[in-house]
Structure 1
Amino acid sequence: MEMQLSIPARPEAVSFDPSRTAVMVIDMQNDFGCRGGMFDRAGLDVVPIAHLVQPISRLLEAARRNALLIVYTRQEHNADLSDAGNEDAPHRIKHKRLNIGAAVVAPNGIQSQILVRDTWNTAIIPELEPQPGDAVISKHRYSAFFETSLDTLLRARRINTLIFTGATTSICVESTVRDATFRDYRCIVLRDCTAELIAADTMRSNHEASLLAIELLFGWTAESEAVIDALSRSAKAG
Protein backbone atom coordinates (compact mmCIF):
# COMPACT_ATOMS: atom_id res chain seq x y z
CA MET A 1 0.00 0.00 0.00
CA GLU A 2 1.42 3.36 -1.04
CA MET A 3 1.93 6.18 1.47
CA GLN A 4 2.16 9.66 0.01
CA LEU A 5 4.11 12.25 2.00
CA SER A 6 3.60 15.86 0.94
CA ILE A 7 6.31 18.49 1.40
CA PRO A 8 6.49 22.21 0.63
CA ALA A 9 8.44 22.77 -2.57
CA ARG A 10 8.84 25.06 -5.55
CA PRO A 11 6.87 25.78 -7.68
CA GLU A 12 4.24 23.87 -5.64
CA ALA A 13 4.03 21.19 -2.98
CA VAL A 14 5.08 17.74 -4.10
CA SER A 15 4.48 14.27 -2.66
CA PHE A 16 6.45 11.04 -2.60
CA ASP A 17 6.01 7.46 -1.42
CA PRO A 18 9.05 6.49 0.72
CA SER A 19 8.87 2.89 -0.49
CA ARG A 20 9.24 4.07 -4.09
CA THR A 21 11.76 6.86 -3.51
CA ALA A 22 15.55 6.89 -3.80
CA VAL A 23 17.96 9.48 -2.45
CA MET A 24 20.62 10.30 -5.03
CA VAL A 25 24.04 11.38 -3.75
CA ILE A 26 25.72 12.79 -6.82
CA ASP A 27 29.53 12.77 -6.98
CA MET A 28 30.33 13.65 -3.38
CA GLN A 29 33.89 12.43 -3.92
CA ASN A 30 37.33 13.65 -2.93
CA ASP A 31 38.13 15.09 -6.36
CA PHE A 32 35.23 17.52 -6.07
CA GLY A 33 34.87 18.39 -2.40
CA CYS A 34 38.23 17.91 -0.67
CA ARG A 35 41.58 19.65 -0.42
CA GLY A 36 44.00 17.87 -2.72
CA GLY A 37 41.24 16.81 -5.11
CA MET A 38 40.84 17.76 -8.77
CA PHE A 39 38.91 21.01 -8.24
CA ASP A 40 41.19 22.16 -5.43
CA ARG A 41 44.32 21.48 -7.50
CA ALA A 42 42.77 23.49 -10.33
CA GLY A 43 42.51 26.51 -8.00
CA LEU A 44 38.73 26.29 -7.55
CA ASP A 45 37.01 26.92 -4.23
CA VAL A 46 35.66 23.60 -2.93
CA VAL A 47 34.14 25.10 0.23
CA PRO A 48 30.57 25.21 -1.18
CA ILE A 49 30.75 21.46 -1.89
CA ALA A 50 32.42 20.65 1.44
CA HIS A 51 29.58 22.48 3.20
CA LEU A 52 27.11 19.95 1.80
CA VAL A 53 28.46 17.12 3.96
CA GLN A 54 26.51 18.03 7.10
CA PRO A 55 23.04 18.52 5.56
CA ILE A 56 23.43 15.45 3.34
CA SER A 57 24.49 13.40 6.38
CA ARG A 58 21.33 14.42 8.26
CA LEU A 59 19.17 13.54 5.28
CA LEU A 60 20.82 10.14 4.85
CA GLU A 61 20.29 9.31 8.52
CA ALA A 62 16.57 9.96 8.12
CA ALA A 63 16.44 8.08 4.83
CA ARG A 64 18.12 5.01 6.31
CA ARG A 65 15.80 5.02 9.32
CA ASN A 66 12.89 4.89 6.89
CA ALA A 67 14.44 2.29 4.56
CA LEU A 68 14.71 4.53 1.50
CA LEU A 69 17.06 3.36 -1.22
CA ILE A 70 20.26 5.43 -1.30
CA VAL A 71 22.22 5.64 -4.54
CA TYR A 72 25.70 7.13 -4.72
CA THR A 73 27.35 8.10 -7.99
CA ARG A 74 31.03 8.59 -8.73
CA GLN A 75 32.40 10.22 -11.87
CA GLU A 76 35.51 8.23 -12.70
CA HIS A 77 37.48 6.83 -15.61
CA ASN A 78 39.79 3.98 -16.54
CA ALA A 79 43.43 4.69 -15.77
CA ASP A 80 44.19 4.89 -19.50
CA LEU A 81 41.20 7.21 -20.04
CA SER A 82 39.83 4.82 -22.66
CA ASP A 83 36.29 5.66 -21.52
CA ALA A 84 36.81 9.44 -21.57
CA GLY A 85 36.38 9.87 -25.31
CA ASN A 86 38.86 10.40 -28.13
CA GLU A 87 41.46 13.16 -27.95
CA ASP A 88 39.13 15.44 -29.90
CA ALA A 89 36.00 14.57 -27.90
CA PRO A 90 34.49 17.49 -25.93
CA HIS A 91 34.48 15.53 -22.67
CA ARG A 92 38.22 14.82 -23.01
CA ILE A 93 39.06 18.36 -24.11
CA LYS A 94 37.13 20.03 -21.28
CA HIS A 95 38.82 17.84 -18.66
CA LYS A 96 42.37 18.40 -19.91
CA ARG A 97 42.48 21.73 -18.11
CA LEU A 98 41.63 19.81 -14.91
CA ASN A 99 44.49 17.34 -15.54
CA ILE A 100 42.30 14.26 -15.81
CA GLY A 101 44.35 11.10 -15.41
CA ALA A 102 47.40 12.88 -13.96
CA ALA A 103 49.39 10.98 -11.33
CA VAL A 104 49.29 12.77 -7.97
CA VAL A 105 50.06 12.13 -4.34
CA ALA A 106 46.89 12.17 -2.24
CA PRO A 107 46.78 14.08 1.06
CA ASN A 108 47.23 10.79 2.92
CA GLY A 109 50.51 10.17 1.07
CA ILE A 110 49.39 7.41 -1.29
CA GLN A 111 49.79 7.44 -5.06
CA SER A 112 46.63 8.40 -6.89
CA GLN A 113 45.25 9.71 -10.19
CA ILE A 114 42.84 12.52 -10.94
CA LEU A 115 39.32 11.31 -11.76
CA VAL A 116 40.46 7.68 -12.08
CA ARG A 117 38.49 4.83 -10.50
CA ASP A 118 39.78 2.84 -7.52
CA THR A 119 41.89 5.76 -6.27
CA TRP A 120 41.70 8.22 -3.39
CA ASN A 121 40.57 10.91 -5.81
CA THR A 122 37.30 9.26 -6.76
CA ALA A 123 36.48 7.76 -3.34
CA ILE A 124 33.36 9.09 -1.64
CA ILE A 125 34.11 11.73 1.01
CA PRO A 126 34.69 9.71 4.24
CA GLU A 127 31.91 11.40 6.22
CA LEU A 128 29.41 10.22 3.59
CA GLU A 129 30.80 6.73 3.07
CA PRO A 130 28.20 4.32 1.63
CA GLN A 131 26.70 1.79 4.02
CA PRO A 132 25.66 -1.84 3.42
CA GLY A 133 22.54 -1.86 1.29
CA ASP A 134 23.37 1.38 -0.50
CA ALA A 135 23.98 1.31 -4.25
CA VAL A 136 27.05 2.85 -5.90
CA ILE A 137 26.98 3.74 -9.61
CA SER A 138 30.22 4.36 -11.48
CA LYS A 139 29.75 6.78 -14.37
CA HIS A 140 32.05 8.22 -17.01
CA ARG A 141 29.94 11.15 -18.13
CA TYR A 142 27.95 13.79 -16.27
CA SER A 143 24.60 11.98 -16.30
CA ALA A 144 24.31 8.96 -14.02
CA PHE A 145 22.02 7.34 -16.61
CA PHE A 146 24.53 7.38 -19.47
CA GLU A 147 25.84 3.86 -20.12
CA THR A 148 25.19 2.71 -16.53
CA SER A 149 22.86 0.27 -14.78
CA LEU A 150 21.03 3.02 -12.86
CA ASP A 151 17.72 2.84 -14.72
CA THR A 152 17.62 -0.96 -14.42
CA LEU A 153 18.36 -0.74 -10.69
CA LEU A 154 15.62 1.82 -10.05
CA ARG A 155 12.97 0.01 -12.08
CA ALA A 156 13.75 -3.27 -10.35
CA ARG A 157 12.95 -1.52 -7.05
CA ARG A 158 9.82 0.16 -8.50
CA ILE A 159 11.31 3.58 -7.78
CA ASN A 160 9.37 6.50 -9.27
CA THR A 161 10.77 9.47 -7.30
CA LEU A 162 14.36 10.66 -6.95
CA ILE A 163 15.52 13.09 -4.25
CA PHE A 164 18.74 14.76 -5.39
CA THR A 165 21.75 15.86 -3.38
CA GLY A 166 25.36 16.46 -4.40
CA ALA A 167 27.50 18.37 -6.82
CA THR A 168 27.68 20.21 -8.96
CA THR A 169 24.18 21.61 -9.39
CA SER A 170 24.50 22.74 -13.00
CA ILE A 171 26.55 19.85 -14.36
CA CYS A 172 26.23 16.35 -12.89
CA VAL A 173 23.09 17.00 -10.83
CA GLU A 174 21.20 18.79 -13.57
CA SER A 175 22.39 16.37 -16.27
CA THR A 176 21.07 13.45 -14.23
CA VAL A 177 17.83 15.26 -13.39
CA ARG A 178 17.15 15.92 -17.06
CA ASP A 179 17.79 12.30 -18.03
CA ALA A 180 15.62 11.13 -15.12
CA THR A 181 12.76 13.38 -16.23
CA PHE A 182 13.02 12.02 -19.78
CA ARG A 183 12.50 8.58 -18.22
CA ASP A 184 9.46 9.80 -16.25
CA TYR A 185 10.99 9.81 -12.78
CA ARG A 186 9.72 12.52 -10.44
CA CYS A 187 12.72 14.64 -9.41
CA ILE A 188 13.05 16.65 -6.20
CA VAL A 189 16.28 18.64 -5.89
CA LEU A 190 17.24 19.77 -2.40
CA ARG A 191 18.43 23.36 -2.50
CA ASP A 192 20.55 23.13 0.66
CA CYS A 193 22.08 19.77 -0.33
CA THR A 194 23.36 20.80 -3.76
CA ALA A 195 26.06 23.32 -4.61
CA GLU A 196 28.08 24.89 -7.35
CA LEU A 197 31.66 26.01 -7.68
CA ILE A 198 32.07 29.78 -7.76
CA ALA A 199 34.15 31.21 -10.59
CA ALA A 200 36.86 33.31 -8.92
CA ASP A 201 37.02 35.81 -11.77
CA THR A 202 33.32 36.67 -11.70
CA MET A 203 32.04 35.40 -8.31
CA ARG A 204 29.07 34.05 -10.29
CA SER A 205 27.42 30.65 -9.90
CA ASN A 206 25.04 28.57 -12.00
CA HIS A 207 23.33 27.13 -8.91
CA GLU A 208 20.27 29.37 -8.95
CA ALA A 209 19.94 29.18 -12.73
CA SER A 210 19.80 25.39 -12.56
CA LEU A 211 17.23 25.45 -9.77
CA LEU A 212 15.09 27.82 -11.82
CA ALA A 213 15.23 25.54 -14.87
CA ILE A 214 14.37 22.51 -12.75
CA GLU A 215 11.41 24.27 -11.13
CA LEU A 216 10.17 25.41 -14.53
CA LEU A 217 10.14 22.12 -16.43
CA PHE A 218 12.17 19.28 -14.91
CA GLY A 219 10.92 18.81 -11.35
CA TRP A 220 10.71 20.48 -7.97
CA THR A 221 13.12 21.98 -5.45
CA ALA A 222 12.81 21.78 -1.67
CA GLU A 223 14.77 22.02 1.58
CA SER A 224 16.16 18.90 3.25
CA GLU A 225 14.38 19.66 6.52
CA ALA A 226 11.04 19.34 4.74
CA VAL A 227 11.92 15.80 3.69
CA ILE A 228 13.32 14.91 7.12
CA ASP A 229 10.21 16.25 8.88
CA ALA A 230 7.90 14.32 6.56
CA LEU A 231 9.82 11.09 7.14
CA SER A 232 9.79 11.69 10.90
CA ARG A 233 6.03 12.24 10.95
CA SER A 234 5.54 9.12 8.87
CA ALA A 235 7.66 7.02 11.26
CA LYS A 236 5.71 8.25 14.26
CA ALA A 237 2.37 7.62 12.58
CA GLY A 238 3.43 4.12 11.52
Structure 2
Amino acid sequence: MRSLGTPPNAWLVDAHNADLTRPPLPPRPISLKADTKTLRVDLAKAAMLVIDMQNDFCHPDGWLAHIGVDVTPARAPIGPLQGLLPVLRGLDVPILWINWGNRPDLLNISAGLRHVYNSSGDGVGLGDPLPKNGAPVLQKDSWAAAVVDELEQLPQDIKVDKYRMSGFWDTPLDSILRNLGRTTLFFGGVNADQCVMATLQDANFLGYDCILVSDCTATTSPEYCWQATVYNVNQCFGFVTHSHAILDAMK
Protein backbone atom coordinates (compact mmCIF):
# COMPACT_ATOMS: atom_id res chain seq x y z
CA MET A 1 0.00 0.00 0.00
CA ARG A 2 1.10 3.56 -0.66
CA SER A 3 1.40 6.24 2.01
CA LEU A 4 -0.78 9.23 1.19
CA GLY A 5 -0.18 12.36 3.24
CA THR A 6 2.39 13.52 5.77
CA PRO A 7 3.09 11.11 8.65
CA PRO A 8 1.60 10.84 11.13
CA ASN A 9 -1.40 12.38 9.34
CA ALA A 10 -1.21 9.87 6.49
CA TRP A 11 -3.37 7.11 5.03
CA LEU A 12 -2.20 3.86 3.45
CA VAL A 13 -4.05 3.25 0.19
CA ASP A 14 -4.25 0.94 -2.81
CA ALA A 15 -6.86 0.40 -5.48
CA HIS A 16 -9.20 -1.41 -3.09
CA ASN A 17 -8.39 -0.26 0.44
CA ALA A 18 -7.76 2.86 2.50
CA ASP A 19 -6.23 2.49 5.95
CA LEU A 20 -7.23 5.57 7.97
CA THR A 21 -5.71 4.51 11.28
CA ARG A 22 -2.75 6.92 11.05
CA PRO A 23 -0.13 4.99 13.05
CA PRO A 24 1.60 7.33 15.52
CA LEU A 25 5.29 8.12 15.40
CA PRO A 26 7.37 6.18 17.96
CA PRO A 27 7.43 8.21 21.21
CA ARG A 28 10.64 9.97 22.33
CA PRO A 29 9.88 11.17 25.89
CA ILE A 30 12.20 13.42 27.88
CA SER A 31 11.95 15.08 31.30
CA LEU A 32 12.63 18.80 31.02
CA LYS A 33 13.20 21.37 33.77
CA ALA A 34 11.17 24.56 33.34
CA ASP A 35 10.83 27.61 35.59
CA THR A 36 7.70 26.38 37.32
CA LYS A 37 7.60 22.58 36.86
CA THR A 38 9.38 19.55 35.50
CA LEU A 39 7.81 18.71 32.15
CA ARG A 40 7.39 15.33 30.49
CA VAL A 41 7.67 16.05 26.75
CA ASP A 42 7.43 13.74 23.75
CA LEU A 43 9.91 14.92 21.12
CA ALA A 44 7.98 12.93 18.50
CA LYS A 45 5.20 15.47 19.04
CA ALA A 46 7.44 18.55 19.31
CA ALA A 47 8.60 21.27 16.92
CA MET A 48 10.88 24.31 17.25
CA LEU A 49 9.61 27.67 15.98
CA VAL A 50 12.30 30.28 15.27
CA ILE A 51 10.65 33.66 14.77
CA ASP A 52 12.02 36.70 12.91
CA MET A 53 15.76 36.03 13.27
CA GLN A 54 16.17 38.04 10.08
CA ASN A 55 18.34 40.84 8.84
CA ASP A 56 15.83 43.66 9.27
CA PHE A 57 15.60 42.89 12.99
CA CYS A 58 19.04 41.48 13.83
CA HIS A 59 21.62 42.90 11.38
CA PRO A 60 23.47 46.21 11.84
CA ASP A 61 22.41 47.19 8.29
CA GLY A 62 18.75 46.20 8.75
CA TRP A 63 15.62 48.25 9.31
CA LEU A 64 15.69 48.34 13.13
CA ALA A 65 19.27 49.56 13.13
CA HIS A 66 18.39 52.13 10.46
CA ILE A 67 15.78 53.73 12.74
CA GLY A 68 18.28 53.89 15.61
CA VAL A 69 17.56 50.71 17.57
CA ASP A 70 20.50 48.87 19.12
CA VAL A 71 20.16 45.39 17.62
CA THR A 72 22.80 43.85 19.89
CA PRO A 73 20.13 42.23 22.12
CA ALA A 74 18.40 40.76 19.06
CA ARG A 75 21.60 38.95 18.16
CA ALA A 76 21.92 37.26 21.56
CA PRO A 77 19.86 34.17 20.56
CA ILE A 78 22.18 33.35 17.64
CA GLY A 79 24.72 31.41 19.75
CA PRO A 80 22.18 29.36 21.75
CA LEU A 81 20.24 28.56 18.57
CA GLN A 82 23.45 27.43 16.88
CA GLY A 83 23.89 24.95 19.73
CA LEU A 84 20.29 23.76 20.01
CA LEU A 85 19.01 23.45 16.44
CA PRO A 86 21.44 20.78 15.19
CA VAL A 87 20.64 18.59 18.19
CA LEU A 88 16.90 18.93 17.61
CA ARG A 89 17.33 18.10 13.93
CA GLY A 90 19.29 15.00 14.90
CA LEU A 91 16.27 13.85 16.89
CA ASP A 92 13.85 14.56 14.00
CA VAL A 93 12.30 17.58 15.70
CA PRO A 94 11.16 19.87 12.86
CA ILE A 95 12.66 23.36 12.71
CA LEU A 96 10.20 25.98 11.44
CA TRP A 97 11.48 29.41 10.43
CA ILE A 98 8.65 31.93 10.85
CA ASN A 99 9.75 35.10 9.06
CA TRP A 100 8.05 38.37 8.30
CA GLY A 101 8.04 38.43 4.49
CA ASN A 102 5.48 40.70 2.83
CA ARG A 103 4.08 40.63 -0.68
CA PRO A 104 5.83 43.24 -2.84
CA ASP A 105 2.49 44.97 -3.49
CA LEU A 106 1.54 45.04 0.25
CA LEU A 107 -2.06 44.31 -0.69
CA ASN A 108 -2.71 42.42 2.55
CA ILE A 109 -1.15 45.09 4.81
CA SER A 110 -3.41 47.72 6.34
CA ALA A 111 -2.65 51.39 6.83
CA GLY A 112 -2.40 50.82 10.58
CA LEU A 113 0.29 48.18 10.12
CA ARG A 114 2.22 50.33 7.69
CA HIS A 115 2.06 53.20 10.19
CA VAL A 116 4.04 51.12 12.71
CA TYR A 117 6.95 51.05 10.28
CA ASN A 118 6.64 54.59 8.95
CA SER A 119 4.78 56.72 11.47
CA SER A 120 5.74 60.03 9.83
CA GLY A 121 4.83 58.87 6.33
CA ASP A 122 8.15 60.06 4.93
CA GLY A 123 10.58 57.56 6.47
CA VAL A 124 11.72 54.11 5.37
CA GLY A 125 8.75 51.79 5.82
CA LEU A 126 7.52 48.41 4.59
CA GLY A 127 8.75 47.70 1.08
CA ASP A 128 10.94 50.83 0.94
CA PRO A 129 14.63 50.37 0.09
CA LEU A 130 17.11 50.43 2.96
CA PRO A 131 19.61 53.26 2.45
CA LYS A 132 22.69 51.06 3.00
CA ASN A 133 21.92 48.31 0.49
CA GLY A 134 18.61 49.02 -1.25
CA ALA A 135 16.89 45.90 0.12
CA PRO A 136 13.11 46.42 0.48
CA VAL A 137 12.08 46.34 4.13
CA LEU A 138 10.57 42.98 5.18
CA GLN A 139 9.75 41.98 1.61
CA LYS A 140 9.58 38.25 0.86
CA ASP A 141 12.76 36.86 -0.77
CA SER A 142 14.74 40.05 -0.06
CA TRP A 143 17.95 40.37 1.96
CA ALA A 144 15.97 42.37 4.53
CA ALA A 145 13.58 39.47 5.23
CA ALA A 146 16.26 36.74 5.11
CA VAL A 147 17.49 34.88 8.18
CA VAL A 148 20.84 36.17 9.39
CA ASP A 149 23.83 34.38 7.87
CA GLU A 150 24.97 33.00 11.23
CA LEU A 151 21.94 30.71 11.43
CA GLU A 152 21.91 27.83 8.97
CA GLN A 153 18.68 26.78 7.30
CA LEU A 154 18.73 23.21 6.01
CA PRO A 155 16.59 21.71 3.22
CA GLN A 156 14.50 19.69 5.68
CA ASP A 157 13.60 22.83 7.65
CA ILE A 158 10.20 24.40 7.04
CA LYS A 159 9.77 28.06 6.12
CA VAL A 160 6.59 30.02 6.75
CA ASP A 161 6.10 33.66 5.74
CA LYS A 162 4.03 35.76 8.11
CA TYR A 163 2.44 39.18 7.71
CA ARG A 164 1.49 40.11 11.26
CA MET A 165 3.11 39.73 14.66
CA SER A 166 1.47 36.33 15.04
CA GLY A 167 2.86 33.57 12.84
CA PHE A 168 -0.56 31.92 12.84
CA TRP A 169 -2.51 34.84 11.39
CA ASP A 170 -3.36 34.27 7.69
CA THR A 171 -0.59 31.67 7.27
CA PRO A 172 -0.48 27.84 6.84
CA LEU A 173 1.42 27.36 10.11
CA ASP A 174 -1.44 25.67 11.97
CA SER A 175 -2.17 23.29 9.08
CA ILE A 176 1.51 22.36 8.76
CA LEU A 177 1.87 21.58 12.47
CA ARG A 178 -1.31 19.52 12.53
CA ASN A 179 -0.19 17.48 9.51
CA LEU A 180 3.12 16.83 11.25
CA GLY A 181 1.32 15.79 14.43
CA ARG A 182 3.25 18.35 16.47
CA THR A 183 1.41 19.59 19.54
CA THR A 184 4.31 20.74 21.76
CA LEU A 185 6.04 23.87 20.49
CA PHE A 186 9.38 25.34 21.55
CA PHE A 187 9.69 29.08 20.81
CA GLY A 188 12.73 31.22 20.06
CA GLY A 189 13.51 34.41 18.17
CA VAL A 190 12.68 38.11 18.37
CA ASN A 191 11.12 40.23 19.61
CA ALA A 192 10.05 38.30 22.69
CA ASP A 193 7.32 40.74 23.72
CA GLN A 194 5.98 41.24 20.21
CA CYS A 195 6.13 38.60 17.46
CA VAL A 196 7.28 35.72 19.67
CA MET A 197 4.65 36.44 22.31
CA ALA A 198 1.85 36.99 19.78
CA THR A 199 2.66 33.68 18.06
CA LEU A 200 2.93 31.84 21.37
CA GLN A 201 -0.38 33.24 22.59
CA ASP A 202 -2.17 32.19 19.41
CA ALA A 203 -0.60 28.74 19.70
CA ASN A 204 -1.95 28.50 23.25
CA PHE A 205 -5.40 29.60 22.10
CA LEU A 206 -5.30 26.89 19.40
CA GLY A 207 -4.53 24.20 21.96
CA TYR A 208 -0.76 23.75 21.52
CA ASP A 209 1.57 23.18 24.47
CA CYS A 210 3.93 26.18 24.53
CA ILE A 211 7.50 26.32 25.86
CA LEU A 212 9.52 29.52 25.58
CA VAL A 213 13.28 28.86 25.35
CA SER A 214 14.58 31.89 27.21
CA ASP A 215 18.16 32.11 25.95
CA CYS A 216 17.02 31.48 22.37
CA THR A 217 14.69 34.48 22.66
CA ALA A 218 15.37 38.21 23.05
CA THR A 219 13.96 41.68 22.58
CA THR A 220 15.19 45.15 21.77
CA SER A 221 12.43 46.53 23.99
CA PRO A 222 13.11 47.71 27.56
CA GLU A 223 13.94 45.08 30.19
CA TYR A 224 10.50 45.34 31.78
CA CYS A 225 8.98 44.07 28.51
CA TRP A 226 11.12 40.94 28.75
CA GLN A 227 10.17 40.47 32.40
CA ALA A 228 6.47 40.85 31.58
CA THR A 229 6.78 38.33 28.75
CA VAL A 230 8.36 35.69 30.97
CA TYR A 231 5.82 36.37 33.71
CA ASN A 232 2.86 36.08 31.36
CA VAL A 233 4.10 32.92 29.66
CA ASN A 234 4.59 31.23 33.04
CA GLN A 235 1.33 32.60 34.43
CA CYS A 236 -1.04 32.13 31.51
CA PHE A 237 0.31 30.58 28.32
CA GLY A 238 2.80 27.79 29.02
CA PHE A 239 6.29 27.29 30.39
CA VAL A 240 9.75 28.83 30.23
CA THR A 241 12.94 26.80 29.96
CA HIS A 242 16.55 27.20 28.78
CA SER A 243 18.39 25.55 25.89
CA HIS A 244 20.81 23.89 28.35
CA ALA A 245 17.86 22.26 30.11
CA ILE A 246 16.69 20.83 26.76
CA LEU A 247 20.18 19.61 25.88
CA ASP A 248 20.66 18.07 29.33
CA ALA A 249 17.34 16.24 29.03
CA MET A 250 18.50 14.61 25.80
CA LYS A 251 21.66 13.09 27.27
Same fold (TM over 0.5): yes
| C-alpha distance in 2 between matches for 1:10 and 1:130 | 29
Deviations 1:110-156 (A, max 9, x none): x3111111110000111113101100000000111111111111111
Q: Which residue of 1 aligns with 2:128?
A: 102
Matched residue, 2:207? 184
Is 2:101 the counterpart of 1:76? yes
Distance in 1 between the 2:200 and 2:221 partners?
Answer: 21
Is residue 52 of structure 1 aligned with residue 77 of structure 2?
yes
Q: Give the aligned residue type for 1:209.
A: A
128, 136, 161: which is aligned to 1:113? Answer: 136
- Residue 4 of structure 1 deviates from its aligned partner by 2.0
Compare the two structures and name the one with the higher helix fraction. Answer: 1
Partner of 1:12: 37
Which residue does 1:215 correspond to in 2?
A: 234
1:91 pairs with 2:76? no
TM-score by length of structure 1 reads 0.89
The corresponding residue for 1:150 is 173
Aligned equivalent of 2:54, options 10, 26, 29:
29
Partners of 1:132 and 1:205 lie apart in 2 by 38
Query: Identity across aligned pairs (percent)?
Result: 31
Larger radius of gyration: 2
Distance in 1 (CA, whole Å) between partners of 2:224 and 2:48 is 24
2:50–2:96 contact (8 Å) kept in structure 1: yes
Q: Is the 8 A contact 2:35 2:239 kept in 1?
A: yes
Unaligned runs of at least 5 residues, structure 1:
234-238
Contact 1:44 1:198 in 2 (8 A): no
Q: Which deviates the most, 156-165 or 93-102?
A: 93-102
The aligned counterpart of 2:191 is 168
The TM-score with structure 2 as length reference comes to 0.84
By relative contact order (CA 8 Å, sep 6+), the higher-ranking structure is 1
The alignment of Structure 1 onto Structure 2 pairs a total of residues equal to 222
Please state whether the residue corresponding to 2:114 is helix, strand or coil: helix
In the aligned structure 2, how far is the partner of 1:148 from the partner of 1:214? 23
Task: In structure 2, give the amino acid aligned to 1:83.
Answer: N
Question: In structure 2, do the counterparts of structure 1 residues 205 and 80 end up closer, same or farther at CA, with 3 Å as the change threshold?
Answer: farther
Instruction: Give the C-alpha shift of residue 64 in structure 1.
Output: 1.2
**Deviation for aligned residue 1:105:** 4.8
Residue deviations 1:8-56 (CA, integer Å, cap 9, x gap) = 1022122211111001101100000001101100100100111210101
Provide the C-alpha distance between the structure 2 equivalents of 1:156 and 1:207, rounded to a whole number of angstroms. Answer: 32
The question of whether the paired residues in 1 share the 8 Å contact of 2:102 and 2:138 is answered with yes
Of residues 41, 60, 67, the one that matches 2:92 is 67
2:148 counterpart residue number:
125
Q: Please give the alpha-carbon distance, in whole angstroms, between the structure 1 residues aligned to 2:28 and 2:139.
A: 41
Per the TM alignment, residue 211 of structure 1 is displaced from its structure 2 partner at its CA by: 0.9
1: CA distance between counterparts of 2:39 and 2:227?
20
Q: Structure 2, unaligned stretches of length 5 or more? A: 1-25
- Which moves more between the two structures, 127-136 or 171-180? 127-136
